[in-house]
Amino acid sequence: MCRGARQATLWVSVSVCVIITTVLPLDYLVSRLLVIVTACVLLTACASPATITQKDLAAQAPVADAAEPPERPFPDDSLYPLLVAEFALRRRDYDVALDNYLTQSRILRDAGVSAHTTHLTQFMQREPEALGAAELWVELDPDNVEANGTLASLLVRQGRTVEALPLLALAERGGAQANFPTLLNGFNQLNEQQRAKLVGGINELAAEFPDNTPLLLTQALIYTEYNQYDLALDKLDKLFDLEPYQPQAILLEAKILLTVDAKKPFARLQQALQENPQDKRLRLQYGRLLTASDMAAAQQQFEILSMQSPRDGDLLLSLALINREVGDDLAAKAYLNQLLALEQRMDEAHFYLGSIAEDAGNPQEAVSQYMQVQDSREFLAANNRLGRILIAAGQLQRSRAWFNQQREENPGRRETLYGLEADLLVQARAQDAAVQVLNQALAEMPASTSLLYARSLLREQQGDLVRMEKDLRAIIASDPNNTTAINALGYTLANRTERYTEAMALISQALALDPDEPAILDSMGWVLYRTGRYEEALDYLTRAYAAFPDPEVAAHLGEVLWVTGDTDAATAIWQGALLKNPDHETLLSTLERLGVSSLKDHPVGSGNPIDEVH
């Protein structure tokens, strides 16, 4: 190679190094890559031994020795994918970067690479990969405080709190302040053995670190979970001696004191706010606690917060809802219109403005507001109210056009919107129109279980049992374990036909799949009653009513009691149901069919009606 060519090659090599050093972050991993890549590029810039002189080597040596060589250099096969990953990060091509890092972390088993990979998975919110990367990081560097704390937090989010405890303990011993209260996330989902193990571990650590405020708070939370409020307050008192204004502890104390009806549950919280009136988080929690007992006081706290942060849409929405709750719709509208002016929480603002207009007897304004709610949490509620207003006003065509438009604009909501529109028409007793909507929906989505079920219910109401059965059997054919459809068909056959053998088989199948479901227990009781097996029927119906005191179950249980001569118990059941559901059709038709013209002739005994069933 000529001298000029060699100089050009060296210039390119140095330029590559300059680009790398200016583009990539100089962290642990990149520093190692730079050392290796710099050495490799410079030493291979002129590959022919005949052209390499001592002068060349002397000139290159300072560059190669710019940093200490790593104790364990990366293999050549890993250099390129690691560089690709780093450059991908700079381009924000995170998927490419992560794929390379995940692969290389498993190949290299290097703690630095594993740490880098863990950080990237967390940034990308890829929890399954983050968990695996953090586990490898802890395996490679078991005493690393950050590694243990990171893995602990990931395990907590997965509900594996018992496994997370020793990792947090190690982090605490290493000088980090471990967030022990997070161990109680999902505490109620643990079995008794897991809870006991977790509580025991926390108590052991508390003995090891008696002045650790997060551990004292965790113990107080556990005692609160078990309703041992005195013990919880004792732990909080010890915590306050160490940290008088610890916000979580202050809020927990206030909640406990509210629960036990203490005279001044907010005394410490109020004192904390006097000491630090700018503590917005604590004031926000205080305001939220007040909404359960003193809406006016809550309003005052939210007004203070809003003055501190006048453009905070969350606070404006809270103030709007509080004013709505206390009956000041004028103030509520003002706050909601502020939200619209700020272009924050706009869907909620339009929804509640529509609600205010509806309550004020201005359906046109209500419809206008509801129509401006986009695909959000309020979307279905807004369309429900809008459809109800239009249908009640006799504007069926306008309602149909609106729902068609919404389905076109929100294709992901098509199935739900069809179901909602049909339900609104059924409520308005426009069954024929509802059938048309469901037929149109099923022509587009013939496999929709929810729409088939909705149409089957409607056909049962219309007395079209043949088509009802066809829809339910279509559901069962596609989903043989669909207990809702199996039970519905069995109950209808028992209630509307004399096909009791088929009904019993279907209900028994549903009961085997879901033995504690009250609706299925009610169906079994009803088919047993229809076949004259009264004592067995009473057993099932009593269990169903105890689990779910529905008026239809009350009608069934009362009828069996009445027929078997226990009229007082039947009357007690019916009266209790009528108090809550005075217009329930099944209940009223049952009384009429049995000739119970007035329940006044049958005085009700004291106590819970269900207690009077023998």
pLDDT tens for each residue of 539-568: 999 999 999 999 999 999 999 999 999 999
Instruction: In whole angstroms, give the CA distance from residue 234 to residue 242.
Output: 13
CA-based nearest residue to 517, from 483, 485, 550:
483
pLDDT over 80 (residue 336): yes
CA distance 73 to 64: 14
Higher pLDDT, 599 or 530: 530
Q: What is the mean pLDDT of residues 69-92?
A: 78
Write down the mean pLDDT value for the chain.
86
User: pLDDT-based confidence at 73, cuts 50/70/90?
Assistant: low
Beta carbons of 138 and 167 less than 8 angstroms apart: yes
Please state, in angstroms and rounded to a whole number, the distance separating the CA atoms of residues 125 and 105. 18
Q: What are the distances in angstroms from CA 341 to CA 98, 137, 311, 334?
A: 42, 49, 10, 11
Does a structural domain hold residue 68? Answer: yes
**Is pLDDT above 80 for 611?**
no
Please give the pLDDT value at position 19: 31
Res 222 pLDDT > 80:
yes
pLDDT at 14 over 70: no
User: What pLDDT shows up at residue 74?
Assistant: 72
Confidence of residue 148 (pLDDT cuts 50, 70, 90): very high
The residue type of 298 is: A
Any residues with CB less than 8 A from the CB of 361 and at least 6 apart, and which? none
**In one letter, which amino acid is 313?**
G
pLDDT tens digits for 479-536?
A: 999 999 999 999 999 999 999 999 999 999 999 999 999 999 999 999 999 999 999 9
d(CA 226, CA 16): 64
SS (H, E, C) 234-254: HHHHHHHHHCCCCHHHHHHHH
Residue 23 clears pLDDT 80, i.e. is over it: no
Judge whether 502 lies within some domain. no
Determine the pLDDT at residue 75. 79
In a domain, 531, yes or no: no
Torsion of CA 188, 194, 200, 201, to 10 degrees: -100
Residues of the chain with pLDDT > 90, as a percent, come to 79
Which candidate, 276, 277, 252, places its Cα nearest to that of 265? Answer: 252
- At residue 72, the pLDDT reads 55
pLDDT band at 85 (very low <50, low <70, confident <90, very high): confident
- pLDDT-based confidence at residue 599 (cuts at 50, 70, 90): low
Tell me the per-residue pLDDT of 240-261, one tens digit each, with 9 for 90 and over: 999 999 999 999 999 999 999 9
User: What's the average model confidence in pLDDT over 435-452?
Assistant: 96
36 in a structural domain: yes
**pLDDT: which is higher, 35 or 304:** 304
**String of DSSP letters for 554-600:** HHHHHHHHHHTT-HHHHHHHHHHHHHH-TT-HHHHHHHHHTT---GG
98, pLDDT greater than 60? yes
Instruction: Work out the average pLDDT over 600-607.
Output: 44
Residue 510 and residue 523 in contact, taking contact as beta carbons nearer than 8 Å:
yes
The answer to whether residue 32 is domain-embedded is: yes
Name the band, by pLDDT with cuts 50, 70 and 90, for residue 77.
confident
What's the confidence (pLDDT) of residue 294? 92
d(CA 614, CA 606): 15
**Biggest alpha carbon–alpha carbon distance for the chain:** 120
The length of the chain in residues reads 614
- The pLDDT value recorded for residue 5 is 35
User: Is residue 27 one of the residues assigned to a domain?
Assistant: yes
Residues 149-165: tens digit of each pLDDT: 999 999 999 989 999 99
State the pLDDT confidence band at 598, using cuts at 50, 70 and 90.
Answer: low
Res 43: pLDDT:
28
pLDDT at residue 7 is higher than 90 = no
Question: Where residue 83 falls among pLDDT bands split at 50, 70, 90?
Answer: confident
159 belongs to a structural domain: no
**Which residue range forms the structural domain that includes residue 50?**
3-73
Sequential DSSP letters for 371-434: TT--SSTTHHHHHHHHHHHHHHTT-HHHHHHHHHHHHHH-GGGHHHHHHHHHHHHHHTT-HHHH
pLDDT of 276 strictly over 50? yes
Q: pLDDT per residue over 173-200, tens digit each?
A: 998 889 999 999 889 889 999 999 999 9
pLDDT average, residue stretch 468-472: 97
**pLDDT tens, 29-67?**
444 444 334 333 322 333 333 333 333 333 433 333 333
| 48 domain-assigned | yes
Q: Write down the pLDDT at residue 86.
A: 85
State the total domains in the chain. 1
